[in-house]
């Protein structure tokens, strides 16, 4: 018993040290699916960048959709190539296409909704006046070409801010090095706004149709958004129309790469979601310091 307890304590200490060490890292995590780790990976990335200005995404087999911050300013069409970043000790997916690895999200959601992995993927489908859905995933009869069932699926990744720092990281890779920390941020609030709009507007359409509306996002991102607002969800799918498909990035030692995994499903309905999306009382800023900050700004404006 003592040996087992000692082993658990040692494991926890090792894990804590690893998490603490990662918290100091703020830089790209993957470039075109290649983990940014040691000298070998940096050299491989430098070779890919030097090969062509048109970088091929391994998850879509098309040009990388992420553009470098200065590309528009300089009139150049330069791709970023960054799939995920280390931020606050966690690898965050910053590109929606990173969620397309091996079509895993379609296989898992189809299995959950249809009971099988036989599906047709209809991309960028318009739903009336409320924009387009990333994917309509359909169950079809191959003989009659009839749609037997379907659901909507959106891919959500967190946006970045001050992305010039990420460009600096790419430039460093070209020089055969990588720093520990670069200046950039994650725009959680913008991501939350997009999610709320999609659930309330598009989610209501699917609810009226008695179909499922699935939002695929990373577990860390979902946890952050849930902690920010406190909205509650049920485990699994149940009879709810709004489904959150939670994914995770895990490092695969055999492949020397990060792999996408589906961790599970959470669900709710549109009306419940709407009533629960609000600022947590414990996170509402105090009024007095807010006014002080405004007055300091006012003094600066008068100078």
What pLDDT does 243 receive? 95
- Looking at mean pLDDT, say which of 58-72, 244-258, 288-302 comes out highest: 244-258
Confidence of residue 17 (pLDDT cuts 50, 70, 90): very low
What pLDDT does 157 receive? 94
Share of the chain above pLDDT 70, in %: 84
User: 280 pLDDT exceeds 50?
Assistant: yes
What is the overall mean pLDDT for the chain?
84
Query: For 30-89, how does the pLDDT look when each residue is reduced to its tens digit (9 = 90+)?
Result: 988 888 876 667 777 777 666 665 678 889 988 888 766 554 444 445 567 889 999 998
What pLDDT does 138 receive? 95
The phi and psi torsions of 15 (rounded to 5 degrees) equal -65, -45
Lowest-confidence segment of 6-15, 21-30, 100-109 by average pLDDT: 6-15
Determine the Cα–Cα distance for residues 115 and 283; give it in Å rounded to an integer. 42
**What does the block give as tokens for 95?**
């590109």
User: 3 pLDDT exceeds 80?
Assistant: no
Burial class (CB in 10 A: 0-12, 13-18, 19+), 87: buried
Residue 159 CB partners (closer than 8 Å, separation 6+):
94, 186, 187, 190, 191
**What does the block give as tokens for 80?**
């970023």
What pLDDT does 172 receive? 83
Question: What is the three-class DSSP state of 252?
Answer: strand
Please tell me the pTM assigned to this model: 0.83
Query: For 235-249, how does the pLDDT look when each residue is reduced to its tens digit (9 = 90+)?
Result: 988 889 999 999 999
User: 4 pLDDT exceeds 70?
Assistant: no
More confident residue, 219 or 165: 219
Closest CA relative to residue 272, chosen from 246, 238, 234: 234
Determine the Cα–Cα distance for residues 275 and 271; give it in Å rounded to an integer. 6
Lowest-confidence segment of 93-102, 147-156, 165-174 by average pLDDT: 165-174
What are the angstrom distances between the C-alpha of 211 and each of 109, 115, 135, 184, 202? 13, 15, 14, 39, 11
User: 2 pLDDT exceeds 70?
Assistant: no
What pLDDT does 36 receive? 85
Q: Are 54 and 63 in contact (CB under 8 A)?
A: yes
Q: Beta-strand (E) ranges in the chain?
A: 27-31, 34-35, 82-87, 90-93, 120-126, 132-141, 146-155, 159-161, 185-187, 212-218, 234-235, 242-252, 257-268
Mean pLDDT of 273-296: 86
Determine the Cα–Cα distance for residues 273 and 242; give it in Å rounded to an integer. 9
């Amino acid at each position: 018993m003592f040996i087992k307890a000692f082993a658990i304590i040692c494991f926890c200490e090792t894990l804590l040290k690893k998490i603490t060490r990662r918290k100091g890292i703020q830089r790209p995590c993957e470039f075109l699916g290649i983990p940014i780790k040691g000298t070998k990976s940096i050299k491989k990335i430098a070779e890919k960048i030097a090969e062509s200005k048109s970088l091929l995404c391994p998850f879509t087999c098309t040009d990388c959709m992420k553009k470098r911050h200065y590309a528009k300013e300089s009139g150049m069409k330069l791709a970023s190539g960054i799939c995920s970043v280390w931020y606050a000790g966690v690898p965050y997916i910053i590109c929606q296409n990173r969620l397309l690895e091996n079509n895993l999200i379609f296989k898992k959601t189809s299995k959950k909704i249809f009971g099988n992995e036989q599906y047709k993927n209809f991309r960028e489908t318009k739903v009336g006046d409320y924009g387009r859905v990333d994917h309509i995933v359909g169950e079809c009869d191959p003989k009659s070409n009839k749609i037997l069932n379907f659901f909507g699926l959106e891919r959500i990744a967190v946006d970045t801010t001050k992305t010039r720092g990420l460009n600096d990281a790419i430039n460093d890779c070209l020089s055969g090095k990588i720093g520990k920390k670069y200046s950039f941020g994650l725009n959680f609030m913008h991501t939350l706004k997009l999610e709320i709009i999609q659930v309330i507007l598009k989610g209501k359409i699917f609810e009226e149709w008695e179909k499922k509306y699935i939002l695929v996002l990373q577990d860390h991102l979902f946890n952050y958004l849930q902690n920010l607002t406190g909205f509650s969800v049920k485990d699994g799918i149940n009879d709810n129309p709004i489904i959150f498909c939670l994914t995770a990035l895990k490092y695969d030692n055999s492949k020397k790469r990060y792999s996408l995994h589906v961790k599970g499903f959470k669900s709710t309905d549109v009306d419940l979601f709407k009533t629960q999306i609000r600022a947590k009382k414990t996170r509402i800023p105090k009024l007095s310091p807010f006014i002080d900050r405004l007055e300091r700004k006012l003094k600066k404006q008068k100078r």
